[in-house]
Structure formats: structure tokens, C-alpha cells
Amino acid sequence: MGEIHEPGLLVYLGITHGDGLDEVEWMARKIWDVRILRDEQSASDLSAPILVVSQFTLYGDARKGRRPTWQAALPGPVSEPAYEAFCLELETLGATVARGVFGADMQVASINDGPVTLLLER
């Protein structure tokens, strides 16, 4: 189970249809370089660690009825390799990456310094 013990980023990663290697690499670079930390610095500026948690529920759709659908989320056999590619790309860029357990029912705790929550899409 992944964890970080210093200021860094908590990334909830959802993978949807059409997300390929290009999107995964773009997202890793964007997260590594986006200036959202203290004094407008990026994780790359501070060598801040990143905890990456797979989160298919980001693509839940509850607009109709009482139960959300998950049709926009890619199934695990397809999205897990993309999740791993995302983490590896971050590491290639120089990030220290902690991983959640893919597909697990996890308890995630965080202390927000801000807080800042962004939805990044290409």
C-alpha cells in the first residue's frame, strides 16, 4: 500500500475510453509540471512525491436514476496497464511515486494544504 510522508501530490487517476499512451504521458508531464504547490511551484520544482490512486469512480454518471453507471470508465484489464504506464512515466520524469493498490477498496487519508483539487483533461 502506497503512502507519502512529506508534502506532495495525491492523484486520483481515472482512465476512460480513448485514453491511450499519448494521453497517459501527457497527463504525467502535466501533473509533474503544473504549478499548484506553495509559491506557485510544481512537484518537479520541489521534487515532491506523488501518491497515485486508481479511481474509476471519477467516471461515474449519476444523471439518470438512482444508481450511477460506470460505462465511461475503462475495465480493469485495460486501465491497469495505463495506470502502470502513468506511474512509470512520472518516475521517468524524476518523480518519487507511491502507488495505491489497483482495484482495491482502500481507505485514503490526506491532509490538504490549500486545498486545491483540479480535474485535468486533455
pLDDT digits 0-9 by tens, 8-39: 999 999 988 888 889 999 999 999 999 999 89
56 is annotated as an active-site residue: yes
Q: Which of 57, 69, 71, 92 is catalytic?
A: 57
CB contact at 8 A, 52 and 83: yes
Q: Which three cell numbers stand for residue 78?
A: 485495460
Write down the catalytic residue from 16, 41, 56, 96: 56
- Using one digit for the tens of pLDDT, what is the confidence trace for 72-102? 888 888 889 999 999 999 999 999 999 988 7
CATH architecture designation of domain 9-99: 3-Layer(bba) Sandwich (3.50)
Give yes or no: 55 in active site: yes
In this prediction the pTM is 0.89
Cβ atoms within 10 Å of 42's Cβ, excluding its own: 16
**Per-residue model confidence (pLDDT) at position 110:** 86
Domain regions of the chain by residue span:
9-99
